[in-house]
Amino acid sequence: MHQETIKFIRKVYNKPIGFIPLHEPIFGGNEKKYLMECIDSTFVSSVGKYVTQFEEMMAEYTGSKYAVATVNGTAALHIALLLSGVKENDEVITQPLTFVATANAISYTGAKPIFIDVDRNTMGLSPQSLKEWLKQSTIKRFNKTTNQRETINKETGKQISACIPMHTFGHPCRIDEIKIICDEYNISLIEDAAESLGSTYRGKHTGTFGLFGTLSFNGNKTITTGGGGMLLTNDKELAKKAKHITTTAKQPHKWEYIHDVIGYNYRLTNLAAALGVAQMEQLPDFIKRKRELAKKYEIFFKDSGIEFVSEKKNTEANYWLNALILKDRKERDEFLEQTNEVGIMTRPIWELMNKLPMFKDCQKGDLSNSEWLVDRLVNITSSVI
């Protein structure tokens, strides 16, 4: 069976022999022109017109009021957590089925992740599991010092201050239901939208539902700046703070160096942003072509006994990475073996976060859907054709 799939991928990519990567960037627009302009202007670092232009284009495209560019997606998550009020010794809920950056960023703040299961069909955080876990494992109380309601983990006595769902492979999770639950428990909602640029839920762009959304422009993402990220928020004050602490928290002054809090050197460079602007110009076309490719896969795998992961009701997916659900772990391993053997790059899901040595002692709920998916899901060739 997998021989048929291999033949089909080779046909679709018009590559009868040789290596086919999982997700290759395309530089088909003004990338070189804008990069040369940067070099000629000498503004190659974190001051320059492309950084602002990239932010403006992203705000416009996603419908977010503000966008703040960062050196990478992990840095964007780190800042989102800090500005959401996550403190050392807090706890932050996320899904175990994610790229390690999500859990790493939580750790940078001194907080600990708690892993709650995903839905099988969206592959993103399950509102049902979240609700049940919160109901069973936490109490709500009023903090007189901060004058705020807060949610406390019964087992550890610690505050759960944020929740980070992730829109896996570009398929939006049930973010409106998650938002209602987070609001009810006074937990800040941060969407890890690193994989879902161009994906919408009920017509609204992913990453714009919570207090913050974060994007990534790593080399394998839907658009790339080499390395880069972005914070999305509708809150003017938070956007201002985000820009401030990602630029070493320097107070504006013609010559003095006054920094008023501990800041970070997290601002995207003008060189990277020049790539970003050129990539943004092509983004709608990339999404269109990715969706056409997904359609081809969908038709090919129909009635094949292999499930192609299609977009769910109320969502529009960017199909960042196309995914198949195979029968079991054995079939998954055979598929990975046979495709990679002949130079067609395919990949399993990441090892679940709770299985990694640094997160193995973290609290978790029942994770059967995540485990079910890990045993069966593979990502197949997804570059824009």
Q: Is 225 in the site for ligand PLP (CB under 6 A)?
A: no
| Closer to ligand PLP by Cβ: residue 77 or 384 | 77
319, two tokens? 């199909």
Pairwise CA distance, residues 83 & 88, whole Å: 13
Q: Residues 46, 94, 95, 98: which binds ligand PLP (CB under 6 A)?
A: 98
Question: For 134, how many CA atoms within 13 A lie in the half-sphere containing its CB?
Answer: 27
Pairwise CA distance, residues 356 & 113, whole Å: 12
CA distances from 164 to 103, 118, 124, 288, 361 (A): 9, 12, 10, 28, 19
CA distances from 41 to 30, 37, 97, 225, 322 (A): 16, 6, 43, 19, 40
Q: Is 339 in the site for ligand PLP (CB under 6 A)?
A: no
Q: Residues 64, 94, 95, 102: which binds ligand PLP (CB under 6 A)?
A: 102
What one-character DSSP code corresponds to residue 358?
G
275, two tokens? 């790539």
One-letter identity of residue 140: K
Q: Which residue is nearest to ligand PLP (CB)?
A: 73
* Span of 95-103, 124-132, 179-187, 357-365 interacting with ligand PLP by CB under 6 A: 95-103
C-alpha R_g of the chain: 21
Pairwise CA distance, residues 224 & 278, whole Å: 10
Minimal distance, residue 165 CB to ligand PLP, in Å: 10
Q: Residues 5, 200, 208, 216: which binds ligand PLP (CB under 6 A)?
A: 216
22-39 burial code (b ≥16 CB/10 A, e <16): bbebbeebbbeebbebbe
| Closer to ligand PLP by Cβ: residue 153 or 346 | 346
| Closer to ligand PLP by Cβ: residue 182 or 268 | 268
| Closer to ligand PLP by Cβ: residue 117 or 192 | 192
Q: Residues 101, 134, 187, 378: which binds ligand PLP (CB under 6 A)?
A: 101
Using CB under 6 A as the criterion, what x/- string covers residues 171-210 for binding ligand PLP?
Answer: ---------------------x-xx---------------
Compute how many residues bind ligand PLP; rule: CB under 6 A: 14
* Span of 93-101, 129-137, 179-187, 203-211 interacting with ligand PLP by CB under 6 A: 93-101
Residues that bind ligand PLP (CB under 6 A): 72-74, 98-99, 101-102, 166, 192, 194-195, 216, 218, 229
